[in-house]
Chains A and B, each alone.
Chain A
Amino acid sequence: MRQRRLLEYGVFGIAAISFILFVGWWRVDGPGAPEPSDRHPLDFPAMEFRLTDHAGNAVGPEVLTGRATMVFFGFTFCPDVCPTTLSDISSWLEMMGEDSDQLNVIFITVDPERDTVDAMAEYVGYFDANIRGWTGTNEQIAVAADMFRVTYEKVPTDGEDYTMNHTASVFLFKADGQFSGAIDYHETRETAVPKIRRAMTEKEEVPQ
């Protein structure tokens, strides 16, 4: 009788420990694990997507290799973050002077329904001339965003209007298309410009 009780305790104990271990695994490595925050874009050679630039040309990741590249996602109906990011980038490019001509600067919309080719052309025209605007169909944008590990979501506001939540980081790639790093929203030009220069100079250090 006493042995039986001991056995019961033992089984219960093992079950409890197993449960705790299982919960730990679930939350750290298993399906319950939080998305790692260091998810970063693929390298250009591993990407595959088709979009249209603001001049109406068909574009894809292959047009970006050969020069260092800066890519960010946004939408032109956003009054706060996107003009700020675009004018931040314009000021970085201005600070870099002629060197900035050796850089691809791509703004990809997460709101292709409103950001048509014409809308993108009109919008980027107000910022640094190096900035290119890329758009596409909903499906094409979804594919491209996935390649960059960018998330976005349509959020209804009053009435029929909507806004977009989206990843606001600026991604940097080396001339061979390898991901080099990200510039976070709110970063100052004192930290941003050296990151851009690093992405540009790594071209020589890493032969293609």
Chain B
Amino acid sequence: MRMVLYQTLAALVIIIVFSAASVAGSDKVLIEDAWSRASIGTSRPGVAYMKIRNTGDVAVTLKGISTDVALKPQIHRTSTNNQGVSSMAQVGEIEIVPGETVTLEPGGLHAMLMGLQRIMKEGESFFMTLAFSDGGEVAVEIPILSIAARGPES
């Protein structure tokens, strides 16, 4: 009886692993120009930016992000209305159609890193994992630039 249970479990695990590995879509996602800013201590939220390019021929949907530097990493969008008032809101899933690039950049979409677990030090880097709705995940190493950095090259 116990043997059967183990076999069933093993089969399930194989099915899950296999289905995740066989999906097309998110394995065609390229992350480029990732960068972030150094943090002052850990009480203020951190931020990360990047370009997410879908080089495949099916649409992919970004479901969420995770990283060990922050307890609550979320994709947020800053928008400024015609009165010049800026606000920030969490963004749900982001669909990226084939050939399209979604850009996380200052003043627009950004990865907001709430609950920093350590100081983000200039010159260091950290890893972030992007989870897609097809079950695939893409990991990216993000360099930490100066707090006054304005783009991936500065």
Which A residues have a C-beta under 8 Å from some C-beta of B? 35, 37, 39, 76-81, 83-84, 86-88, 90-91, 122-123, 126-127, 151, 155, 157-158, 161, 163, 165-169, 182, 184-186
* A170 (CB) vs chain B CBs: closest residue: B84
- In the bound complex, do residue B40 and residue A122 qualify as a contact, i.e. CB atoms below 8 Å apart? yes
Q: Which residues of A contact B45 (CB under 8 A)?
A: 77, 79
What is the CA–CA distance of A155 and B85 in the complex, to the nearest angstrom?
Answer: 13
Check B78 for interface membership: any CB of A closer than 8 A.
yes
- In the bound complex, do residue B46 and residue A79 qualify as a contact, i.e. CB atoms below 8 Å apart? yes
* B110 (CB) vs chain A CBs: closest residue: A80
Which of these, A35, A155, A158, contacts B87 with CB under 8 Å?
Answer: A155
- In the bound complex, do residue A163 and residue B106 qualify as a contact, i.e. CB atoms below 8 Å apart? no
* A152 (CB) vs chain B CBs: closest residue: B85
**Chain B residues with a Cβ closer than 8 Å to the other chain, count:** 30
Count A-B pairs with CB separation below 8 Å. 89
Q: Which residues of A contact B146 (CB under 8 A)?
A: 126
- In the bound complex, do residue A123 and residue B40 qualify as a contact, i.e. CB atoms below 8 Å apart? yes
How near does chain B come to A112, taking the closest CB pair, in angstroms?
15
Q: Which residues of B contact A165 (CB under 8 A)?
A: 85-88
- In the bound complex, do residue B113 and residue A168 qualify as a contact, i.e. CB atoms below 8 Å apart? no
Check B44 for interface membership: any CB of A closer than 8 A.
yes
Q: Which residues of B contact A81 (CB under 8 A)?
A: 78, 86, 88, 106-107
How near does chain A come to B40, taking the closest CB pair, in angstroms?
6
Q: Which residues of B contact A86 (CB under 8 A)?
A: 148
- In the bound complex, do residue B86 and residue A186 qualify as a contact, i.e. CB atoms below 8 Å apart? no
Q: A79-B37, A81-B107 are in contact. Are A166 and B86 (CB under 8 A)?
A: yes
Q: Which residues of B contact A155 (CB under 8 A)?
A: 87-88
Known: A39-B83, A186-B107. 6 other contacts (CB 8 A): A79-B47, A81-B88, A81-B107, A83-B37, A123-B40, A166-B85
What is the CA–CA distance of A123 and B44 in the complex, to the nearest angstrom?
Answer: 11
9 interchain pairs, CB-CB under 8 A: A77-B43, A77-B44, A79-B45, A79-B110, A80-B78, A80-B112, A83-B47, A126-B40, A157-B90
What is the CA–CA distance of A77 and B43 in the complex, to the nearest angstrom?
Answer: 8
Which of these, A123, A126, A158, contacts B72 with CB under 8 Å?
Answer: A158
- In the bound complex, do residue B82 and residue A37 qualify as a contact, i.e. CB atoms below 8 Å apart? yes
Check B16 for interface membership: any CB of A closer than 8 A.
no
Q: Which residues of A contact B118 (CB under 8 A)?
A: none
Q: Which residues of A contact B150 (CB under 8 A)?
A: 84, 87-88, 91
Q: Which residues of A contact B12 (CB under 8 A)?
A: none
What is the CA–CA distance of A182 and B82 in the complex, to the nearest angstrom?
Answer: 13
Q: Which residues of A contact B51 (CB under 8 A)?
A: none
